[in-house]
Structure 1
Amino acid sequence: MPKTVSPARLALAAAGVTVVLWASAFVSIRSAGAAYSPGALALGRLLAGALVLGAVLLVRREGLPPRAAWPGILVSGLLWFGVYMVVLNWGEQEVDAGTAAMLVNVGPLLIALLGARFLGERMGPRLLAGMAVSFAGAVAVGLSMSGEDGHASVLGVGLCLLAAVAYAGGVVAQKPALAHASALQVTAFGCAIGAAACLPFAGQLVAEASRAPLSATANMVYLGVFPTALAFTTWAYALARTTAGRMGATTYAVPALVVLMAWALLGELPGALTLAGGALCLAGVAVSRSRPRASAPPAPGPDAGRKEAAGERHR
């Protein structure tokens, strides 16, 4: 009989799909962002994602989520799918890519803190150590990407920090909703709420789509179908089976994957600092997701045999 895959392995595989697709999004955003403004790009991406997720919902006949899941879906939809995507697109136009990467990577740290405060999650030493190592790696990658011509405005820094806060708040709000609804339901309706919140940018989207090159529009659709519809669903599936803090720490693999993808797909040869930072990111993720070994029972002392024999005589 074929062996069944354990839920833990499925959750780990789902998290892996998420980080790979989110890493690929940086390449697509670079292309689409040249032709679309921040709000229009977010709306186009969310509309594409909502259409795909809505079709899958109809095929699977999952229907509406239970009432208890709606508060978390509403908050995560507004913060993560709405605010986060718009302000991150905007912030990346005001600061260089390295600075944006460093600032947004404050998000997993905030997730761990908010998860401990509102979800009662335990911040174990391995999680904290792994996140510290990964954050140091993300800083190294960011510094190596900034270069001498890097730029940063106060507005851009504020927008990237706001994106990190919105991301963290959305994840922590999403976690309780997954106790009442499926990963597909939480993702689909969260995406739809985010798209509705971005509807004020509809005029910009129509105007820019009429003159945007086909490659930019194709990248926007790709962002909606894969890094949004698929990756957010696999994220929710994994989040339902672990803590928000550990899932947030997993996303520190994204900077390392971005470095590798830029090397393979764009021919951007990474420097020594970039490679070292990427290695630190992956090492930190491995530490944060590791589990302490079960302690072995204490070995019998030299007097154990004599005590056992004495016990036998007293019986």
Structure 2
Amino acid sequence: MTPRSSSPAVLGVSLPALAALTTVVLWASAFVGIRALGDSFSPGSMAFLRLLAAVIPLTVIVLVVRLRRRSPRGVHDGPAPTCFPRGRASGLVMAYGVAWFAGYTILLNWAEQHLDAGTASLLVNLAPILVAIAAGLFLGEGFPRHLVIGMTIAFAGVVLIAAGGSATADAHADWLGVLLGIAAAVLYATGVLIQKSALRTVDALTATWLGALAGLVATLPFAPAAISELADADASAIAAVIYLGVGPTAIAFSTWAYALARTDAGAMAATTLVVPAIVIAMSWALLDELPTGVGIVGGVLCIGGVAIARRLLPPRTRRARPETRPAQTAPEPRVPEGSPTAT
């Protein structure tokens, strides 16, 4: 609660909320852009060019921000800025960069050669459930009944997506595309969890910049193919891949990291549930693509399963119950220490 109340606001809306909204819209546009560029660039080449287009402006922004933050008047919340994180923090940033910026991007690019943009976004948004599963395995939150129910519903949705195919002739939504989409979701969830740990000691901008840099290094093997494909691409394709680097990567990951550093990972992951609806509307308007009716039903089941799993995992509420029982059973409500715990 404290971070929310102390966060700056614009027109009554907190900056973390505005940052999350910016991220959601830009990430939604990325699904459409990736689908549109599938004929111009291969998955690895597109990832390399996108990260190259992201690292350049991020480097400039980092340099400018660091110069401004040298002033004693600079006030900021969150971790203090560091030139380069050291030790465990450095390893976390590099790991999340390779997993999310490189691995996730390549798999998503590949998946969208088999899936329409809307279907791909529906599959990727299984990530919040995977975050909840990881929390149950490694953070001691367990596997309550509602998480199991949500997982079951979401899995049924994946089956329907794969069985429903696509309304677009060249996006046949085969099992390879579905598996690639799920694998991308796994790397997405992994990136969120690792990044959340890194942001405890590394500021959001540094984490985003170094993460993108790590992803760029990981995709260097695709550089020769990227140069060759870039020479054959038209101006609109080049502009689109630059947009993917500047908008959905440099800007969106920075705003995501800013918001993630000021809220919990589960809540932030849940905000991305609105992405598929935006993607489907954009791809319909710009690409004339839609999932089939069965695929949309499957997507609704996926999102519903994720919502059930995330909404009904309130660890604070579970811990609060034992504290309220002694206050209710105490015969004398006048006990001093009982008063604070009641509120």
- Quote the Cα distance in structure 2 between the aligned partners of 1:229 and 1:66: 23
1:108-155 residue CA offsets vs partner (Å, 9 max, x unmatched)? 211121134334568899999889888888988888772385534454
CA distance in 1, matches of 2:258, 2:277: 23
Looking at structure 1, the residues matched to 152 and 168 of structure 2 have their Cα atoms a distance apart, in angstroms, of 26
Alpha carbons of structure 1 residues 103 and 168: separation in structure 2 relative to 1, 3 Å: same
Q: Secondary structure of the equivalent of 2:56?
A: helix
Cα pair distance change 1:224/1:127, threshold 3 Å: farther
Going from structure 1 to structure 2, the CA distance change for 1:268 and 1:249 (only over 3 Å counts) comes to: same
CA, structure 1 residues 94+153, in 2 after alignment: closer, same or farther (shift >3 Å)? Answer: same
Matching residue within 211, 228, 231 for 1:207: 228
For the 8 Å contact 2:118–2:280, the answer to whether it is kept is: no
RMSD: 3.9
C-alpha separation in 2, matches of 1:15 and 1:240: 11
Unaligned runs of 5+ in 2: 1-6, 67-80, 325-331, 334-343
Which residue, out of 104, 109, 113, partners 1:93? 113
2:256 paired with 1:235 = yes
CA distance in 1, matches of 2:260, 2:26: 16
Report the CA distance shift for 1:268/1:102 in structure 2 as closer, same or farther (over 3 A): closer
Residues 223 and 128 from structure 1, CA distance in 2 versus in 1: closer, same or farther, beyond 3 angstroms? farther
Change (3 A) 1:121 1:233: farther
Q: Partners of 2:13 and 2:150 in 1: how far apart? A: 20
Task: Provide the residue aligned with 1:245 in structure 2.
Answer: 266
- Which of structures 1 and 2 has the bigger CA Rg? 1
Give the match's secondary structure for 2:277.
helix
SS at match of 1:173: helix
2: CA distance between counterparts of 1:158 and 1:54? 34
* Structure 1: segments with no counterpart, 5+ residues: 298-306, 309-315
- CA–CA separation in structure 1 for the residues paired with 2:60 and 2:230: 24
Structure 1 CA distance, aligned partners of 2:21 and 2:161? 20
Shift of 1:94: 3.5
Q: Which amino acid aligns with 2:44?
A: G
Q: Across the two proteins, how many residue pairs are aligned to each other?
A: 297
Shift, 1:4, TM fit: 5.1
Whether 1:65 aligns to 2:85 is yes
Measured in 2, the distance between the counterparts of 1:235 and 1:39 equals: 24
Match of 2:102 in 1: 82
Match of residue 27 from structure 2: 22
Which among 48, 57, 61 is matched to residue 52 of structure 1?
A: 57
Q: Are the structure 2 counterparts of residues 4 and 244 from structure 1 closer, same or farther at C-alpha, using a change threshold of 3 Å?
A: closer
1:183 to 182, 204, 208: 204
Structure 1 residue 31 displacement after superposition: 2.4
TM-score (norm 1): 0.76
CA distance in 2, matches of 1:137, 1:215: 35
In the alignment, the residues of structure 2 paired with residue 260 and residue 139 of structure 1 have an alpha-carbon distance, to the nearest angstrom, of: 23
| 1:1-315 equivalent positions in 2, closer than 5 A | 5=9, 9-61=14-66, 62=81, 63-97=83-117, 99-120=119-140, 146-147=166-167, 149=169, 151-266=172-287
Per-residue CA deviation, residues 9-53 of structure 1 (Å, 9 max, x unaligned), is 322221111111000112211222220111000000011111111
Q: CA contact under 8 A between 2:118 and 2:279: conserved in structure 1?
A: no
How many angstroms apart in 1 are the aligned matches of 2:93 and 2:42?
A: 26
Q: Secondary structure at the match of 2:85?
A: coil
TM-score under structure 2 normalisation? 0.71
CA distance in 1: counterparts of 2:51 and 2:147, whole angstroms:
32
In the TM superposition, residue 269 of structure 1 has moved relative to its aligned partner by 8.0
CA distance in 2, matches of 1:249, 1:77: 21
